[in-house]
Amino acid sequence: MEKYDSEIFKISKDEERAKDLLDMAKERMEFAIKYVPKDMSYRLLQEYYEVAVQLMTSIMYADGYKTLSHISLIEYLKSYNELNNHELEMLDRMRKARHGTVYYGRKDGGNFFLNHENEIKILINKLNDLVESKLKSKILMELFKKVQIIPYQVSKFVKEEINESIKYGDCRHKSELLFQLLNKNKFEVKRIKVIFDWKDLQLPKELLLILKKSGTIWNHDGIAVKINKEWIKVDCTWNLELKSKGFPVTEYWDGKSDTLQVTKGKLQFYDSDKFESKIKVDKEEAHKFADELNKWLAP
């Protein structure tokens, strides 16, 4: 990007405009596929290239950059590992072929399109996936933070009462709220169960001694979200203030990989709909443990 730095400008990140450009690129692609005939392949080249430009511009707006140069647009993508050198070269060849068609009336760009049609379509799909991933990761991070800041407190759980107005909650409340918010925003999300050990947190010994009958290995609620065709585990249980208690709090997250989990110890993960708990917890002990844990965690 160094050669073209003077043509790239820093601006405020604009996810809304990035989303609008993504939508327009999809509309243009649908139009090209439906209405532009193969015997006008030079027009198909123009349309596909414009789709690529809108997607590349969307990436820049999401990152907080802008340029009027198509060369700089392509150069900017070198900072992304998702595209290899051959694909970047293909974008530049598309640029040159489209330039010849639009400004010099050359129709030989159509032959270029027909010879590389499959490659171009794969490239467009990769750009589209990159934009969607960036925008989804941004929304995911915002919703995660929104739920994470809710103070952790063990309390009665009624699924039907979970909404954005809850003032506190434990793993059940917070994972259910995040599940609802992500579902509402059209993420592919599922509930998961985690088997963990309270001993793997820095709790006072007197707290753990309460669990004489129940033991310290319990079930925990979390969620998994599909990003870039992979399931990532997202745990928003511990609010930031609990870092001072030694809890594994997720402070910085890219929205593309697993967050920190309930503990740093050994964990077992299961899909909730396939999970059958074999852990027996004594209710009296559990209530006493919850009360004492809440007192210890209280600011």
What pLDDT band is residue 137 in, cutting at 50, 70 and 90? confident
Q: Which run of H or E residues covers position 197?
A: strand 189-197
Q: What is the pLDDT of residue 5?
A: 64
Q: Where are the domains of the chain?
A: 2-139, 149-297
Do residues 79 and 149 touch, judged by C-beta distance below 8 A? no
CA 11 and chain centroid, separation = 23
What pLDDT band is residue 299 in, cutting at 50, 70 and 90? confident
Task: Please indicate, yes or no, whether the overall pTM of this predicted structure exceeds 0.95.
Answer: no
Do residues 52 and 94 touch, judged by C-beta distance below 8 A? yes
Instruction: Assign 195 to helix, strand or coil.
Output: strand
CATH topology of domain 2-139: Four Helix Bundle (Hemerythrin (Met), subunit A) (1.20.120)
Strand order of the sheet with strand 217-227?
230-234, 217-227, 189-197, 268-271
Answer yes or no: is pLDDT of 105 > 50: yes
What pLDDT digit, counting tens, does each position of 33-71 carry? 999 999 999 999 999 999 999 999 999 999 999 999 999
CA distance 288 to 147: 26
